[in-house]
Structure 1
């Protein structure tokens, strides 16, 4: 009967089919205040808008409840307007900036611009959960695959010593290590960022067919898509999500001297005194380990070594010479320390092999006398309280200016898989392993800020994780080799780290392990091979966020390399002086980081639409105006291949293959290749010669100079010659303008330390160059602070093409003008 009716009335058959189809699709998702929830196959999926440009994707096995509180993400979801629409199996969510689509049958999520351009997509069957027993807790191995465009470039994931910039076709085992710091955040040339919010050991792999993150432990798949439009915008979104970078004190941007290690109070103070005597600029000195005494007292955070009898006087002596001091602290404690004795009964120590392995100082470690040193559990808030209690009482109280948090991965020696089963406050060590540096650095930072705002937090640390930029920390690249290959590796390592949204990074100038250069050369400082490498590393270090010389085996203080008039000595002084002349530029770039989420070490791909710079690993911009092309190949001496690592490097055996080479004068002029990106013209910093971009050139070099180029349209302030950062006021700055394009620069000034800038105690002066009218506008000063210069002079220099100037010296423009905070215009 029913079939006969339908056959005679086909319109009712069509309505029945449509009703059946709609009943299958209309309720395939549930709208929430943040996005939507849906189910497919065996998984629950949730899409959450955190802002119009930031979206969180959560996936978990169907019906399995879990609780996830991110260690990295501090942003709370905004209440934003978005629309949802379903067409067949596709459910789309759209904010005012971004469109997100999920296939409710396959679970595939994709991200598109509002114009319809595809940005990123998961693969059709890319999410997987595999049952895993994590030290007795039922959980999962989790994996998510994405599909990238063939010509898309990606960067970030922290610091790797691969010597390459692009992450395409890379497979990276992301477990924190001495010289590798992993941050599971990447940026794309397509204008987005991707943050994989997981703390367990993770394998990142990019293949032609897919790009994936696979983590050992996860109750859920949890990642964030950030629409940035470009790399800068993606980094800004990551900092919006995980925290902004505060200002460092001005003195941290000066020159820092260190070595492994100063063995007495007199030696440490004597280094600063010698620099002042020589007139070589210096802002900081660093005390490395064992000021506490023997290894059983490891990291006692007290001066128990009798060679440091009066620490308060030591610090005062350094301060009285207008220098600052930071000191080595670790994340582990010896069994005779107060910290160990307080933490152990409370289960706050992690019992696995760490540095040092022996209680006596010898190599190899004497296992008959184990050190008993154990890392603490920084995931435990009470343990972090105890850590700061002793740090504040033993070191902060005597006036130490900052902290060198060593082994912040931490060192994990003689690794056994069962070590990952060790319980922390937040679960197994496996579950939270990669977030260790974030927690320990964060513990110190938060406690110091709570105790005092008089002194800005400054932490030098060896490892990092997502969000660490909010804690006032500068990460260094670990105990790297003293070799040319290692120097080459540092450039892409620092650039990828910077593109991981953490803007402050540095490296041991000269490389840490340098024993191979001592054979037949005493302490090694007179070995031309080391001298050349050290000078070139110094020149690179002058254009990183912290300029810090450090290493073992060979002393690094300048007076070990000769005296004034000696070519190596003079090259080092010239480089340090150049760094200090750029402090107004560097400090303003630091403000740009804090205020505008900028980046100081900039891969060229961030600023130039030029295919030749997509994977360029030997040049970069320092700030937004200075192109740095370090000399990274030996030009005067043989390029000795040195092989060691952070463990075997501690073996002090000298390299028997290092033959003594002939004395080298370093007087010859050499040359190197430099690529100048297209889209602008460039000025040779040393000669002012103007050169069109989009070409590779051959640049003459000497031992005391590396290729530096200034982008047309740049405005750069140069400070006075000083012995330390705050010695002289910036009352007579030279303002150089490099014509050829419009330009703008904002000069930032404040009280140089403390947190009053957060209350508005700072000033800015914006300079604008109009290339068409050949006029420089000096804007009205905005803001004020105690000690601000109300009246000053600017020496305006409009740079002329060096070739043109040589032919007609009268073309140069130089004018000194008085400035009282009101707008002024200077015409050529």
Structure 2
């Protein structure tokens, strides 16, 4: 039976191009009717003619702005922000000839009565942000159309992104209107802006840039801006968007909304701004400890024997591993995205997963939003298919059926531990040869991809699929069990997705040094939005060069090319300091032994990086607890910690990992170019050491003053890493998987020069008992003046917690220029039983 499923898209025609309520050409602003204001319980309502503008205090530091050109306020229904009961915020409301003034204990907001422009000021009157005083906002009314897809005429197109269904549009009809809304701000001189998600361009400071916000294989758009002035903006809209800080029209354009809806969030620290964002959108779930180990993947393992042999080889060669990944095409032929193993190649998938578990590893599986075979028939009969064989993730009943009848029944019940929700955009308009001509035209790509997203999802929710898809996985898995934390590695990300156990990766990248350099600021800007977990395919996804614009790697010989081996090692060194460390890609396998034999420099470097990742686990897992419990950001732009040093604002190749480490990836070849051409140059790179701190070279323990640029060694076995003075870092022992040796000794390394504090967090590692208080923390403090290290009383407990902990404590010398390790003072052993203890030097 032919099925027709209806959706909303933007009409190509625009109704009423008038800018509502705004100054038009030739009109004197002094003759415009003034806004009138009325105090409300949480703020004030301002009106002028048909316009309505509302300001509400969510907290003393968060202001919610809503605007409609005419009619009543109408939510954009994004579910970005969680339902909340606004706290009662004390504020004063007053006015003078030119302004309405609202003032909380932390903020003062002024509204210009003539133009309706808001200005945000700190309580001391210092300006933070102002909307454009002449034209703060404008709106154009647009048509919303209902589109009928005729499934009987669908075609399947084979692409690098899998078998994609090309839907046939059967009918269109106008069913309503929305607004194309533009909001304008005046940024200050010297102000830097960050955020908006992970994008290909590789911009760090977004001032003077244009960024198109839509979901794509290589774009993870998030409508959040963070400022070096200590505030953030969250736009509660689900449409595609444009950020433009270039003349002639500097703007934030929302392509389809019911109302302009944004939040102003004041810190003044950016960690505080992130806290406000998460209070609005939800807390970050604590990922299981194994997610911070090492994850091995490739495109793709093809049968249980191969999976077993890979895990066995890791274990027999004593290479740490926590997760093995099964990528796409485990399903039956012609059933793209079917959530069931093909029995021809996987006769007993439960046994396959069990063998992985018996070797103390976890199993991650790729699942797609596509439905195929019986799924398509069954979900289609209920109206749960959007079109292009994509299920309706916006419908809670469809989300439940997708999970219960297919994912849980056929996959999770086998013992699968973690999900790889691939293709969660779920449509790319330019992922083919036909788009080669617009590969370097960002606006053309935005227009093409926006049209596809609008057609499939509707313009009001074009950016929202991944948020709802992830919600379904998270909420429904939690209904099944609390013994496995949800882990969802997904390609598309949006505001609010962090609350659903997600990690985002930057998409199917290509192996060039220029691309690698752009990954770093792209990821930092994603994590600056308050969504903390982002990662990469170490080595890039595409290695070779083919006809498609995106399949343009520089290394056709792959792992046989010394140039690619060096590239892979440098990208893996970068991944070591990301929230998730994983290796994946096509063209060539990525296991460590593909890059040489033991004793060869590339192989040894890979193994040393994986071992370092496991030694860092006590630190990394404790920082992950800070992310969940204290709204921290694990991998972070330098501006988060050094806002007073404007020299860090546009540094693209340095970042902080937790409160202590500054990581400086190598982003150009030092040994070999492509095809093994040897390079003769110094194996060093320049590093800027931010002001207002001293720094220690992680590898040599030499100390340096901040506020200077140094030349740091960067041989193939490591990248420059510096430790901030006033740090306490817990290191673990080498181990083969994250849960091995839970009672092993911990090395506490103290980097003096300032007072320091660090809280070590422990729990069972992979269940939700921590939500019931089953966890333990130990706070360690260093008093720099008295030279006393205090280990506080352990708070809390959990099943299986070791009663005793052996600490090896090391104090690094602050003698600048001392030889490596010369003045290390070591307190060899301390047995900690949970009671407070002090150690004096």
Q: What per-residue deviation string (whole Å, max 9, x for no partner) do you get for residues 440-478 of structure 1? A: 111111111122111111100001100111001000000
Given candidates 351, 365, 370, the residue that maps to 1:313 is 351
Which residue matches 1:437? 466
Which residue matches 1:480? 509
Given candidates 81, 95, 103, the residue that maps to 1:94 is 103
1:669–1:702 CA contact under 8 A, matched in 2: no
* 2: CA distance, partners of 1:173 / 1:458: 29
Please state how far the C-alpha of 1:66 moved relative to its aligned partner: 2.9
Query: Is 1:587 the equivalent of 2:621?
Result: yes
State how 1:340-419 maps to structure 2 within 5 Å.
340-352=376-388, 374-389=389-404, 390-413=406-429, 419=452
Please state how far the C-alpha of 1:413 moved relative to its aligned partner: 3.3
Which residue matches 1:355? none
- SS of 1:773's equivalent? coil
* 2: CA distance, partners of 1:669 / 1:722: 34
Q: What per-residue deviation string (whole Å, max 9, x for no partner) do you get for residues 59-102 of structure 1? A: 00233453443410115222222221121242112222212222
Please state how far the C-alpha of 1:622 moved relative to its aligned partner: 0.6
Which residue matches 1:746? 759
Given candidates 310, 326, 329, the residue that maps to 1:290 is 329
State how 1:479-498 maps to structure 2 within 5 Å.
479-498=508-527
Distance 1:697 1:805, change over 3 A: closer
2:308–2:356 CA contact under 8 A, matched in 1: yes
1:41–1:106 CA contact under 8 A, matched in 2: no
Please state how far the C-alpha of 1:208 moved relative to its aligned partner: 6.6
2:427–2:453 CA contact under 8 A, matched in 1: no
Which residue matches 2:17? none
Which residue matches 1:631? 666
- SS of 1:312's equivalent? helix
Q: What per-residue deviation string (whole Å, max 9, x for no partner) do you get for residues 319-361 of structure 1? A: 0000001100011123xx2221122233332334xxxxxxxxx
Query: How large is the Cα RMSD of the aligned pairs?
Result: 2.2
- SS of 2:387's equivalent? coil
- SS of 1:183's equivalent? strand
Which residue matches 2:69? 61
* 2: CA distance, partners of 1:676 / 1:790: 41
Which residue matches 2:785? 772
Distance 1:120 1:520, change over 3 A: closer
Distance 1:388 1:469, change over 3 A: same
| Alignment length (residue pairs) | 754
2:217–2:428 CA contact under 8 A, matched in 1: no
Query: Is 1:109 the equivalent of 2:118?
Result: yes
* 1: CA distance, partners of 2:579 / 2:820: 38
1:453–1:755 CA contact under 8 A, matched in 2: yes
Identify which range, 789-798 or 397-406, moves more after superposition: 789-798
Please state how far the C-alpha of 1:510 moved relative to its aligned partner: 0.3
Please state how far the C-alpha of 1:104 moved relative to its aligned partner: 3.1
Identify which range, 165-174 or 516-525, moves more after superposition: 516-525
Please state how far the C-alpha of 1:308 moved relative to its aligned partner: 1.0
Which residue matches 2:370? 332
Which residue matches 1:21? none
Q: What per-residue deviation string (whole Å, max 9, x for no partner) do you get for residues 230-253 of structure 1? A: 211111110111000010010110
1:52–1:95 CA contact under 8 A, matched in 2: yes
* 2: CA distance, partners of 1:779 / 1:217: 54
1:461–1:474 CA contact under 8 A, matched in 2: yes
Query: Is 1:469 the equivalent of 2:498?
Result: yes
* 1: CA distance, partners of 2:289 / 2:791: 24
Query: Is 1:39 the equivalent of 2:47?
Result: yes
Query: Is 1:197 the equivalent of 2:236?
Result: yes
Distance 1:423 1:696, change over 3 A: closer
* 2: CA distance, partners of 1:682 / 1:730: 31
1:147–1:209 CA contact under 8 A, matched in 2: no
Distance 1:726 1:417, change over 3 A: closer
Q: What per-residue deviation string (whole Å, max 9, x for no partner) do you get for residues 612-642 of structure 1? A: 111100000111101100111101112x5xx
2:689–2:706 CA contact under 8 A, matched in 1: yes
- SS of 1:184's equivalent? strand
Query: Is 1:561 the equivalent of 2:577?
Result: no
* 1: CA distance, partners of 2:553 / 2:661: 38
TM-score (norm 2): 0.87
Q: What per-residue deviation string (whole Å, max 9, x for no partner) do you get for residues 696-747 of structure 1? A: 1111221111101111111001101101011111441000001111111110
2:512–2:553 CA contact under 8 A, matched in 1: no
Q: What per-residue deviation string (whole Å, max 9, x for no partner) do you get for residues 655-674 of structure 1? A: xxxxx435x6x999611111
* 1: CA distance, partners of 2:486 / 2:556: 39
* 1: CA distance, partners of 2:538 / 2:553: 21
Given candidates 281, 285, 304, the residue that maps to 2:342 is 304
Which residue matches 1:790? 803
Please state how far the C-alpha of 1:211 moved relative to its aligned partner: 4.3
Distance 1:791 1:159, change over 3 A: same
2:428–2:449 CA contact under 8 A, matched in 1: no
Which residue matches 1:726? 739
Given candidates 120, 127, 131, the residue that maps to 1:122 is 131
- SS of 1:686's equivalent? coil
Please state how far the C-alpha of 1:112 moved relative to its aligned partner: 1.2
Given candidates 29, 35, 58, the residue that maps to 1:50 is 58
1:742–1:770 CA contact under 8 A, matched in 2: yes
Query: Is 1:231 the equivalent of 2:270?
Result: yes
Which residue matches 2:30? none
Distance 1:62 1:520, change over 3 A: closer
- SS of 2:95's equivalent? strand
Which residue matches 1:18? none
- SS of 1:270's equivalent? helix
1:44–1:60 CA contact under 8 A, matched in 2: yes
* 2: CA distance, partners of 1:170 / 1:340: 43
Identify which range, 504-513 or 206-215, moves more after superposition: 206-215
